[in-house]
Structure 1
Amino acid sequence: MNRSSKELKRLARENLTGHYSTPMGAFVCASAISLAIELPFSMLQNNTQTTLQTIVFGLAEFLIGLLSSVLIVGQFRVHLSMARKQPYELKQLFYGFKNHPDRIILCSLLVIIFTVLACIPAIAGTIFFLLKQGIPGVIVCAATMIISLILCILLQLMFQQIYFLLLDRQDLSAMGCIKESARLMKGHKGRLFYILLSFLGMDILVLLSLGIGSLWIMPYQSQTYTLFYLDITGQLPEVSASGSAPQQDQPTFNEYV
C-alpha cells in the first residue's frame, strides 16, 4: 500500500530530526562548489561583452550544470543511506565522481535534450508571434507556451527517479535509467505532483528568507523524495518499520516546521 504524502513527510521529519548536519552540510558543500566554479565566469559578464564571451559563458554554465548533477547524485546517496538506516557521512557527496561520473553526466545530458524537445512548441509559437503580430499571434504563442509547460512538467515527473536509479541500478545504462524511471512513475505522477505542490509554500519561504531557509527545506524535500522512491519500489515498509531515526550524526537542529 502506497504511503500518503503526509505520511512520507512525517517520516522525512522523523529521519531528519536531530540529524540535519550531514544532509545540510552536503547541500551547502554542493552549492558552494558550484558557486565557486561559476563565480569567475559571472564576474566577467558586462554590458560590453562580445558574442564570443556570451557563448563561452553559456557553455560554462552548461558544463557547470552537468557537474552539479554529479553532486546531486552524491546528495541523494546521503539521503538514501539515511532513509535505509545505514551509515552515512559527508564524503558520500563525492560518490558520483568515483562511480561512473560519465554515466551520470550522460543521463543528465539526455534529460536536457528531452527538455529542449519539449520546448519546441513554445519556440515555434514565439517565432510565429514575431512573424505575425496581433491577436492570432498572441493566441498561438500562449497555447504553445502552455503545451510546452505541460510537457516539461510531465518530463520532470517521469524522470524524478533517475538519480536514485543511478545509485541503485548499476546494471542500467543512462538511457536505461531514464526508461526505468518512466516505468516506475506510471500511476504515481499524480501523487508526486501533489507532493511537489505541497512544498510550494516552503519554496516561497526560501525566497522570502533570501535563500537561508533552503538550509532546512532542501534536506527536508530531498528526504521526502527519497522516501517516495523507496515507497514506489516497495522498499519503504522494511526500512521504516522500526520508526526510529538514524543513530549516528550529532544533533544539531532538534525541530523542523
Structure 2
Amino acid sequence: MNPKKKSKELKRISRENLNGRYRLSMSVFLTVTLINLFSDLPFTYLLGNVYATKVQTVIYYIAEVLLSIVVGVLQMGLIRFHLNMARKKECRISDVFYCFMNHSNRYFGAYIIYYAISMIAKAPFLVARNFFKLSGDTMGIAIALYAASAVLSFIVLVLFPFYLYLVLSRDDLSVFACLTHAIKLIRGNILRVIYINVSFIGMLVLCVLSLGIGLLWVEPYYEQTFTNLFLDVTGELPAVDCMV
C-alpha cells in the first residue's frame, strides 16, 4: 500500500494541477456561487421578511429546503470538476451541471441523505434559535443546545467528508453503500481531514479581510487539495518518492 502523503505534498500536487487552469477553476466556483445567490434572492426578499400567515412561513421553509438540495447537487458538480482535474481528465465549466443531466436520481438521492444528516446535526441549534433566548432563565438551555449542535456538526464533518466523492466515483456502489464505505475510509484519516481544514484557516481570514474576493483563489486550492486527499486515501495517487 502506498504511504500516505503529507499535507504539504498534497498541496504541492494541487498547485501543479491548478497551474494553467486556475482561471477555469475560479469560473466554476463563481458559477456555483452566483446561481446559489440569485436562486435564493426571490424567496429571501419576498417571503423571508414578510410572514403574514403560517402558509407563507411554510412556503418559505419548503423553498429553502428545496433550494438547498438543488444547490447541493450543483456543488457535487463542482466536486466532479475537481475529481476530473486531479485525475488528469478533461474538466470544464459544464461539469457543474453533470449531476442534473446524468443519473440525477442517484445524485439527488445521495445529497438528500447528506442534507438530512446535516439537518439532524443542526436541529439543536434551530430549536435554540426559535424557542430559547440567550438571556434570562433560558440562557443555559440555549447555550447547551448550541454546544450540542456544534459537536454534532463536527462529527458529521469528520465522519462523512468522502461520502459525496464516493457517490461520484463509485457507480458500482449504491448511495447507502457509499455512506458506509465513507465511514470505513475515514478510519485512520480523521486527523488528516482536520489538519487539512485547519491549515486553510489563515487563508480564510485573509478572504474575510478582502471582503470575500480572496475566495476566488482559495476555494479552488482547497477543493483540489481535499480532492487529492480523497484520492490518496483511496490509493489513486502515485507513491511519493520522498516524504515532504
TM-score when scaled to structure 2?
0.85
One-letter code of the match for 1:4?
Answer: K
Give the drift of 1:138. 4.6
Match of 1:195 in 2: 196
Q: Check whether the contact 1:81–1:88 (CA below 8 A) recurs between aligned residues.
A: yes
Structure 2 CA distance for partners of 1:84 and 1:151, relative to 1, 3 Å: same
Q: Which residue of 1 aligns with 2:104?
A: 101
For 1:208 and 1:93, the matched residues in 2 are separated by 28
Residue in 1 that maps onto 2:34: 32
**How much identity, in percent, do the aligned residues show?**
37
Partner SS, residue 20 of structure 2:
coil
Aligned residue in 2 for 1:253: none
Q: Distance in 2 between matches of 1:42 and 1:123?
A: 18
Residues 110 and 164, structure 2, Cα contact 8 Å, conserved in 1? no
Rate the CA distance shift 1:183–1:45 in 2: closer, same or farther, 3 A.
Answer: same
1:234 Cα shift? 0.7
Alignment of 1:1-257 (within 5 A): 1-45=3-47, 47-51=49-53, 52-119=55-122, 134=137, 138-139=139-140, 141-237=142-238
Residue 226 of structure 1 and its aligned partner are, at CA, apart by 0.4
Report SS of the residue matched to 1:87: coil
Residue 174 of structure 1, CA deviation: 2.1
1:16–1:220: 8 Å Cα contact kept in structure 2? yes
Q: CA–CA distance in 2 between the matches of 1:199 and 1:117? A: 27
1:47 and 1:192, CA in 2 relative to 1: closer, same or farther beyond 3 A? closer
Contact 2:73 2:111 in 1 (8 A): no
Q: Distance in 2 between matches of 1:111 and 1:77?
A: 17
Stretches of structure 1 that go unaligned for 5 or more consecutive residues are 242-257
Q: Measure how far apart 1:151 and its partner are.
A: 2.0
C-alpha spacing 1:233/1:64, structure 2 compared with 1 (3 Å): same
Query: Secondary structure at the residue paired with 1:204?
Result: helix
Equivalent pairs counted in the alignment come to 237
d(CA) in 2 for partners of 1:204, 1:18: 26
Greater shift after overlay, 191-200 or 51-60? Answer: 51-60
**TM-fit CA distance, 1:190:** 1.3
Q: How many Å separate the matches in 1 of 2:18 and 2:190?
A: 25
Q: Residue 122 and residue 76 in structure 1: after superposition, are their counterparts in 2 closer, same or farther (change >3 A)?
A: closer
* Letter aligned with residue 55 of structure 1: V
Q: Determine if contact 1:121/1:145 at 8 Å carries over to the other structure.
A: yes
Cα distance in structure 2, aligned partners of 1:221 and 1:4 = 15
Q: Deviations over 1:67-95 (max 9, x none)?
A: 11221121111111111112222222211
CA–CA separation in structure 2 for the residues paired with 1:16 and 1:216:
10
Q: TM-score, normalised by structure 1?
A: 0.81
Greater RCO (Cα-Cα under 8 Å, separation 6 or more): 1
